[in-house]
């Protein structure tokens, strides 16, 4: 009998995101859950993960969760402390394998909104805007999106395309002039993990988290999600992962224990 | 050249490079001159109502907050601001009625701390206008174009999105490969403030840690005010010239303000003051609270030393120095409530 390990949804999402990252690859991260996932990967299965921050930190050994996306933790024991021009140009050159985004809304092609809910001219809710998200989603090879899933967030049409997914479908990114062969790769939510169908570039369910069902995921999606015959179950966090998360990366519980 | 798409956002702080060169010729002396003054003088002299301003640093990191408080004290009005990930600086300037127009890469939020109650409320009341959208990389490339003395710069961001549609960028067919490319217009802010670790009295400045976009921003600026933790002898600069990030001829004023980035982080010196941020986030939920905060920390004081005493004095500063060195545990009350 396996011992039952207690964990929260946010810890599960951090572990799922961390496992997407491969050793000896590069990742552009912002703060919050993405940096937690990057730090976890670095401290577990991917010790040679090259972590890069948009404000100039490159090859950072993250001591603990940075609060600002450019604070001193983002270049702690880094290989280089440079500039945003340097980092973003490096991404434009093709050196950045992965990047992470958060999202207020997403559609089936992985287009992301973090700018406004409602009309731009008269928004219902004003959100912070692109930040570095548009840049990361335009220039990095594979983009991973971390967000909550429900029918208000997974929508037929996002109110505003802040960051490009596959835009209107296959070939649209290249047609718009975006770097070829780039785009969203995974969407990780509190319910499961989604990918994108190779041919149609539409969002496709890959796994549901322990205790969740395919029907729950479908009911929380406001567009037609591709559901393959076989959907796996996400592996739960290990004891080791949880220990690193709770004692090393976010001991104050700023992201992990926040309601 | 064929224009494939044009953003509808307002084009702010753009000049024709020849016009800007002429302005530089007439306004930026090349002589080594002692430029030390206090913040009151610097802001009276160089910040005018209606100016487009940009702050060095990023988010809560190495931002000249001392200058922000002085702008508020002097009641500057109708400023436009580069929201180049502008967080606490923007929030304070909007809440106090100084800024009423913004170009947004990232605003209205406090990063991990949540959304900004004050600036969002002002926005919802229609008292601050979002003139254009852009991305973080887009913003610093606007400064880079200006820093190179160009009208625009080609990039591969923002393409295909509403961020572009509401920006001041244009998409053209690249003459070399025939693919669409995004031209970002140069941005020459009227006034820029950059907080640095040390400089000499002429303005030759060193920055420790990441540069963010200050290398570009310093050259893009028309007027550049340096606030600094420390003023050093010119010989120190000459002994390690590879460390000079900002040379004297770009600088209009040098102001010594130790801890001038508080409540933000100054890399290698002090971490951000999350207890102070929590106080602001709590108070700024109401107009009354904003008034109370500004009265206590801005209008009610004369000097930055008084401010440092108010935020907790040497005990607090020692904690922030230790926190920066990872020798004290983080206290972040906003995460608890």
**Alpha helix (H) residue ranges in A30-168:** 33-43, 84-93, 133-139
Half-sphere exposure at residue A100, Cβ-oriented, CA atoms within 13 angstroms = 30
Q: Among B153, B185, B140, B144, which residue's Cα sits nearest to residue B167?
A: B185
pTM: 0.97
- Mark yes or no for CB contact B135/A173 under 8 Å: no
- Mark yes or no for CB contact A139/B108 under 8 Å: no
Q: What is the mean predicted confidence (pLDDT) over A78-94?
A: 98
More confident residue, B14 or A3: B14
Using a CB-CB distance cutoff of 8 angstroms, which residues of chain A are in contact with residue B179? 177
Q: What is the mean predicted confidence (pLDDT) over A58-66?
A: 91
Half-sphere exposure at residue A221, Cβ-oriented, CA atoms within 13 angstroms = 25
Residues contacting residue A101 through CB under 8 Å, at least 6 positions apart: A30, A34, A112, A114, A133, A136, A137, A143, A144, A145, A146, A163
Using a CB-CB distance cutoff of 8 angstroms, which residues of chain A are in contact with residue B118? none
Q: Among A91, A83, A96, which residue's Cα sits nearest to residue A21?
A: A96
Q: Which of B159, B210, B330 faces A176 most closely, judged by CB atoms?
A: B159
B3-335 placed in CATH 3.30.450.20: no
For A111-143, write each residue's pLDDT tens digit: 999 999 999 999 999 999 999 999 999 999 999
The beta strand positions in B70-190, using DSSP E, are: 79-83, 99-104, 129-133, 152-155, 170-173, 180-185
- Mark yes or no for CB contact B138/A138 under 8 Å: no
Residues B260, B263, B266, B269: is their CA dihedral positive or negative? Answer: positive
Q: How far apart, in whole angstroms, are the C-alpha atoms of residue A2 and residue A14?
A: 22
- On the 0-12 / 13-18 / 19+ scale of CB atoms within 10 A, B237 is buried
Residue A77 neighbours by CB distance under 10 Å: 10
Q: How far apart, in whole angstroms, are the C-alpha atoms of residue B26 and residue B24?
A: 5
Residue A73 in this model has a pLDDT that exceeds 80: yes
Q: In degrees rounded to 5, what are phi and psi of residue A81?
A: -115, 105
Q: Could you tell me the pLDDT band of residue A30, with boundaries at 50, 70 and 90?
A: confident
Q: How far apart, in whole angstroms, are the C-alpha atoms of residue A75 and residue A212?
A: 38
Residue B312 in this model has a pLDDT that exceeds 60: yes
User: Tokens 């007027």 correspond to what residue?
Assistant: B223
Chain B contact present for A117, CB below 8 A = no
In the three-class reduction of DSSP (H, G, I as helix; E, B as strand; rest coil), residue B142 is classed as helix
Using a CB-CB distance cutoff of 8 angstroms, which residues of chain A are in contact with residue B206? none
Return the pLDDT at B73: 97
Residues contacting residue B258 through CB under 8 Å, at least 6 positions apart: B229, B230
- Mark yes or no for CB contact A115/B133 under 8 Å: yes
Q: What is the mean predicted confidence (pLDDT) over A163-181?
A: 98
Classify B50 in phi/psi space as left (phi over 0), alpha (psi -120 to 50) or beta.
left
Q: How far apart, in whole angstroms, are the C-alpha atoms of residue B68 and residue B62?
A: 13
Provide the annotated active-site residues of A.
54
Residue B3 neighbours by CB distance under 10 Å: 10
Longest pairwise C-alpha distance within chain B: 62
Cis peptide before B263 (omega within 30 of 0): yes
Q: Could you tell me the pLDDT band of residue B155, with boundaries at 50, 70 and 90?
A: very high
Task: Report residue B32 as tokens.
Answer: 């080594």
Q: How far apart, in whole angstroms, are the C-alpha atoms of residue A238 and residue B81?
A: 47
Q: What is the mean predicted confidence (pLDDT) over B182-199?
A: 98
Q: Among B229, B303, B294, B236, which residue's Cα sits nearest to residue B266?
A: B229
Q: What is the mean predicted confidence (pLDDT) over B160-174?
A: 98
Chain B contact present for A88, CB below 8 A = yes
Supply the DSSP string of B191-248, one letter for each residue: EEEEEEEEE-TT--EE--S--BTHHHHHHH-SEEEEEEEEE--HHHHHHSGGGEEE-G
Classify B130 in phi/psi space as left (phi over 0), alpha (psi -120 to 50) or beta.
beta
User: Tokens 């409320």 correspond to what residue?
Assistant: B121
Task: Report residue B180 as tokens.
Answer: 């669409």
Residue A259 in this model has a pLDDT that exceeds 70: no
The H or E element that residue A57 is part of is strand A57-58
Chain A contact present for B158, CB below 8 A = yes
Chain B contact present for A179, CB below 8 A = yes
Q: Which of A31, A83, A111 faces B212 most closely, judged by CB atoms?
A: A83
Sheet with A50-53, side-by-side order of all strands: A80-81, A57-58, A50-53, A26-29, A98-102, A142-146, A183-188, A192-196, A203-208, A232-233
Query: A78-107: buried (b, 16+ CB within 10 Å) or exposed (e) per residue?
Result: beebbbbbbbbbbbbeebbbbbbbbbbbbb
Q: Tell me the average pLDDT of chain B.
A: 97
- Domain range list for chain B: 3-335
Interface of A with B in 58-77 (CB under 8 A): 63-64, 67-72, 74-75
Domains detected in chain A: 9-191+236-249 (3.40.1080.10)
The beta strand positions in chain B, using DSSP E, are: 3-6, 52-55, 79-83, 99-104, 129-133, 152-155, 170-173, 180-185, 191-199, 205-206, 223-231, 244-246, 253-256
- Mark yes or no for CB contact A85/B140 under 8 Å: yes
Residue B156 in this model has a pLDDT that exceeds 60: yes
- Mark yes or no for CB contact A254/B335 under 8 Å: yes
Task: Chain B: give the shortest CA distance to residue A225, in Å.
Answer: 23
Task: Chain A: give the shortest CA distance to residue B238, in Å.
Answer: 22
Q: Could you tell me the pLDDT band of residue B337, with boundaries at 50, 70 and 90?
A: low
């Amino acid at each position: 009998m396996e011992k039952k390990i207690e964990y929260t949804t946010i810890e599960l999402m951090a572990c799922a995101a961390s496992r997407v990252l491969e050793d000896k690859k590069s990742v552009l991260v912002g703060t919050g859950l993405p940096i937690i996932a990057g730090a976890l990967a670095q401290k577990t299965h991917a010790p040679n993960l090259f972590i890069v921050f948009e404000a100039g930190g490159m090859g950072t050994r993250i001591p603990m969760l940075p609060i600002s996306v450019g604070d001193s933790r983002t270049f702690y024991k880094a290989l280089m402390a440079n500039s945003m021009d340097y980092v973003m140009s490096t991404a434009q050159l093709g050196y950045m394998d992965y990047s992470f985004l958060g999202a207020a809304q997403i559609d089936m092609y992985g287009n992301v909104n973090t700018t406004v809910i409602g009309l731009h001219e008269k928004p219902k809710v004003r959100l912070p805007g692109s930040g570095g998200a548009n840049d990361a989603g335009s220039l990095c090879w594979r983009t991973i999106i971390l967000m909550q899933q429900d029918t208000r967030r997974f929508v037929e049409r996002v109110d505003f395309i802040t960051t490009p997914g596959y835009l209107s479908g296959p070939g649209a990114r290249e047609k718009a002039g975006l770097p070829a062969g780039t785009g969203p790769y995974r969407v990780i939510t509190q319910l499961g993990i989604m990918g994108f169908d190779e041919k149609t570039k539409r969002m496709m369910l890959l796994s549901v988290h322990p205790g969740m069902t395919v029907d729950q995921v479908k009911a929380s999606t406001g567009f037609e999600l591709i559901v393959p015959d076989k959907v796996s179950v996400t592996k739960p966090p290990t004891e080791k992962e949880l220990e690193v998360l709770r004692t090393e990366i976010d001991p104050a519980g700023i992201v992990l224990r926040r309601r | 050249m064929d224009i494939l798409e044009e953003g509808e956002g307002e084009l702010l702080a753009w000049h024709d490079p020849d016009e800007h060169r002429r302005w530089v010729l007439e306004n930026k002396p090349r002589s080594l001159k002692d430029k030390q003054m206090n913040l009151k003088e610097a802001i009276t002299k160089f910040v005018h109502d209606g100016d487009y301003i940009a702050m060095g640093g990023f988010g809560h990191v190495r931002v000249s907050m001392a200058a922000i408080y002085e702008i508020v004290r002097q009641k500057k009005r109708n400023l436009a601001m580069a929201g180049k990930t502008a967080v606490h600086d923007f929030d304070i300037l909007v809440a106090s009625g100084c800024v009423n127009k913004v170009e947004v890469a990232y605003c209205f939020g406090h990063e991990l701390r949540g959304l900004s109650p004050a600036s969002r409320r002002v926005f919802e009341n229609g008292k601050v206008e979002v003139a254009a959208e852009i991305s973080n990389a887009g913003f610093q490339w606007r400064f880079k174009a200006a820093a190179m003395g160009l009208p625009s710069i080609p990039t591969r961001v923002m393409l295909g999105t509403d961020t572009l549609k509401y920006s001041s960028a244009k998409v053209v067919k690249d003459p070399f490969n025939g693919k669409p490319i995004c031209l970002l217009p140069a941005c020459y802010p009227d006034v820029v403030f950059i907080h640095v670790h040390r400089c000499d009295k002429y303005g030759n400045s060193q920055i420790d840690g990441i540069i963010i976009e200050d290398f570009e921003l310093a050259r893009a600026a028309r007027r550049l005010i340096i606030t600094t933790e420390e003023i050093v002898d010119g010989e120190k600069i000459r002994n390690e010239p590879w460390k000079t990030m900002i040379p004297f001829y770009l600088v209009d004023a040098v102001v010594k303000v130790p801890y001038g980035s508080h409540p933000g982080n100054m890399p290698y010196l002090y971490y951000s003051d999350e207890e102070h941020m929590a106080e602001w986030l709590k108070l700024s939920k109401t107009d009354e609270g904003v008034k109370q905060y500004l009265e206590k920390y801005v209008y009610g004081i004369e000097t930055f030393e008084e401010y440092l005493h108010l935020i907790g004095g040497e005990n607090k500063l020692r904690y922030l120095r230790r926190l920066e060195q990872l020798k004290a545990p983080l206290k972040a009350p906003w995460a608890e409530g």
